[in-house]
């Protein structure tokens, strides 16, 4: 009896923020599932190039140095991916910024607010706009398959807010609303739009907070499973949402937070 096959053969995936953390785990998983993968990075060139080489090199996996702060940055990255691989079947908008230092709203610099929304939201608009347009123009990679999949990465902060991080919470809440609106808008084109909302994950971005004993104790105390996630545990649900097994899911917010959102 044949087992369950999880394959993205003949698919092209674009994953942002792919040089480390959840993004790097997703790059590896999508490659192992048979997809050709393009991913973006901002500054970690050695790490990014090593990952691309480990996943097959230029014909199979390509790393693009790309700032993501504006809609045009997002559109540029989509264009570069389509030029390299000829199509885009999957967009995973994973990149983002979160300031580890608590910042009360009364004193939050406007520059921090604008930077967070620029990276976490404005560039995502450009990515989705260009990727959806590309998916609408091209034929599905295989007969009977979806024309495209878009997975946006939000956060528990986008669902319940986060004190002293209003900028981050606002950007991730907007990602959830975009998911719901775009799911119905793009469904007639055969494009599914879903969202993964992680809680705390052991990544470089969260390391400063998790390495602080007081913060770490507070974080762990708010997670029923009693630990933070490994990046693979977020990348796995992202991969699943792009599989035929999830073919009737669109507009969904998939919680991956160890139960934290239930008690927060």
Per residue in 229-253, pLDDT tens? 999 999 999 999 999 999 999 999 9
Q: Quick: pLDDT tens for 162-215.
A: 999 999 999 999 999 999 999 999 999 999 999 999 998 988 777 888 888 888
Tell me which residue of 74, 50, 69 sits closest to 150, measured CA to CA. 74
Confidence of residue 120 (pLDDT cuts 50, 70, 90): very high
- Listed in sequence order, the DSSP H helices in the chain are 21-32, 45-54, 71-85, 110-117, 123-137, 157-160, 166-186, 207-210, 213-221, 231-241, 260-263
Domains and CATH numbers, the chain: 12-263 (3.40.50.720)
| d(C-alpha 130, C-alpha 127), whole Å | 5
pLDDT computed for residue 141 by the predictor: 66
Helix, strand or coil, per DSSP, at residue 87: coil
Whether 91 contacts 14, CB under 8 Å: yes
Q: Does residue 259 or residue 214 have the better pLDDT?
A: 259
Per-residue pLDDT, 2: 67
Of 44-48, 55-59, 137-141, 196-200, minimum mean pLDDT range: 137-141
Catalytic residues: 168
Enter the DSSP assignment of 118.
I
Mean pLDDT of 78-89: 97
pTM of the model: 0.93
How far apart are alpha carbons 69 and 113 in whole angstroms? 13
* Contacts (Cβ under 8 Å, ≥6 apart) of 211: none
């Amino acid at each position: 009896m044949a087992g369950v096959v999880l394959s993205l053969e003949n698919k092209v995936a674009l994953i942002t923020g792919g040089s480390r953390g959840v993004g790097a785990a997703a790059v590896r998983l999508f490659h192992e599932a048979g997809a050709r993968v393009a991913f973006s990075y901002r500054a970690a060139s050695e790490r990014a190039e090593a990952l691309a080489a480990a996943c097959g090199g230029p014909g199979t996996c390509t790393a693009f140095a790309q700032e993501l702060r504006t809609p045009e940055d997002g559109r540029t990255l989509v264009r570069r991916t389509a030029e390299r691989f000829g199509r885009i079947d999957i967009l995973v908008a994973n990149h983002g910024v979160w300031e580890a230092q608590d910042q009360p709203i009364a004193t939050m610099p406007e520059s921090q607010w604008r930077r967070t929304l620029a990276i976490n939201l404005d560039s995502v608009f450009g990515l989705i706009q260009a990727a959806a347009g590309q998916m609408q123009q091209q034929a599905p990679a295989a007969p009977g398959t979806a024309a495209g999949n878009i997975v946006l990465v939000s956060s528990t902060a986008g669902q319940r807010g986060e004190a002293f991080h209003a900028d981050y919470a606002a950007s991730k809440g907007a990602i959830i609303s975009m998911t719901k609106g775009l799911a119905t808008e793009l469904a007639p084109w055969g494009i599914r739009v879903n969202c993964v909302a992680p809680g705390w994950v052991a990544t470089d971005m969260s390391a400063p907070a998790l390495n602080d004993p007081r913060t770490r104790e507070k974080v762990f105390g708010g997670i029923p499973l009693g630990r933070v996630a490994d990046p693979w545990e977020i990348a796995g649900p992202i991969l699943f949402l792009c599989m035929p097994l999830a073919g009737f899911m669109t507009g969904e917010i998939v919680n991956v937070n160890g139960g934290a959102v239930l008690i927060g």
